[in-house]
Structure 1
Amino acid sequence: MTVVDERTVAPSVSVTAQLSPGTRLVPARIGTWAHNQVMPIPCPSWCVEDHLEFPSAFEDISHYGEPQTVAVPSFLGGTDVHYVWWARLESDPAASDERMRAAHLIVGDDSTFEARVSDEMADKLADDLIVFAMQLRQQARAARQANRAAA
């Protein structure tokens, strides 16, 4: 009978996850409703998604930031909001498209269309929105002056 020293067959190994800056380990439910397990996954610090809420395949996990919104009411609709525009960060680490793997913004209005926007595109969009906001203020002043003149 041969005696095998376990230390030579299976040496103890210490594994420490190497995380990218701005990333943390969070628990995620991996699998199906019937068969799943909780395991730590790397997650960007800006992600607010609860990766424990629904089980999913590891490659289907995406990361989402807190949505930022702007609402447009109508005085004909009482307090109802008629249009909501939102933007939030996203990253899909398993996507085949490298642009989807990188952190980017999703901009949408709750219709079926969502725009995928890179950080450079978001800066240009923000510049355009600042100009739009200034034009909106100018139109509000013109409406105010027209209403005063009519009164």
Structure 2
Amino acid sequence: MGEAAPRLRPALVNGQRVHLECPAWCTADHMIESVRFLEDLEHAGEMTDLVIPGGPGYRLLAHARLGSDPFGDDAATRSPYVVVDDGSEPFVMSPAEAAVFADRLEVFAQQVRGLGRDAQSAI
């Protein structure tokens, strides 16, 4: 199964309505706020959250989403990338870097699971 085709979506650039090709994964409403220059327009996907249980409900540790800056100066961010944001600073990763990060998260998850088992056995 292939990737869904991009579609034309409206956007506000310098107060003017324009139509741009928007990737199928982009959930940003480009009409909410006018950007000054086309170079300021970014595509953003839906966020997925990493939460920690505790307290009332949960606490957000970080979230991740797809992004791209199709008209920006940096060639590396014109193509889709993964953003992980912990609330203090966004970390932008290429698809290859995101795969390495995900591998490290799996190792971390196993280590946290082991710590939980150790804590449970010490009770």
TM-score range, shorter chain: 0.7 to 0.9
Write out per-residue CA displacement over residues 67-90 of structure 1, whole angstroms, 9 at most, x where no aligned residue.
11111244xxx3275552111111
The residue matched to 2:122 in structure 1 has which SS? helix
| Greater relative contact order (Cα < 8 A, sep 6+) | 2
Q: Which of 1, 11, 33 is equivalent to 1:54?
A: 33
Correspondence for 2:18: 39
Q: CA RMSD in A?
A: 1.7
1:70–1:24 Cα change, 3 Å: same
Aligned positions of 1:49-88 closer than 5 A: 49-56=28-35, 57-74=37-54, 78-79=55-56, 81-88=58-65
For structure 2, the 5+ residue unaligned runs are none
Runs of 4+ in structure 1 off by over 4 angstroms are: 80-83
In our comparison, the structure showing a higher alpha carbon Rg is: 1
TM-score (norm 2): 0.87
Letter in 2 for 1:63: H
Q: Distance in 1 between matches of 2:12 and 2:33?
A: 7
1:1-151 alignment to 2 at 5 Å?
22-31=5-14, 36-56=15-35, 57-74=37-54, 78-79=55-56, 81-111=58-88, 113-147=89-123
Structure-1 separation of matches of 2:60 and 2:41: 29
The alignment of Structure 1 onto Structure 2 pairs a total of residues equal to 119
Unaligned runs of 5+ in 1: 1-20
TM-score normalised to structure 1 length: 0.72
Distance (whole Å) between structure 2 residues aligned to residue 123 and residue 103 of structure 1: 14
**% of aligned pairs identical?**
35
CA distance in 2, matches of 1:107, 1:58: 24
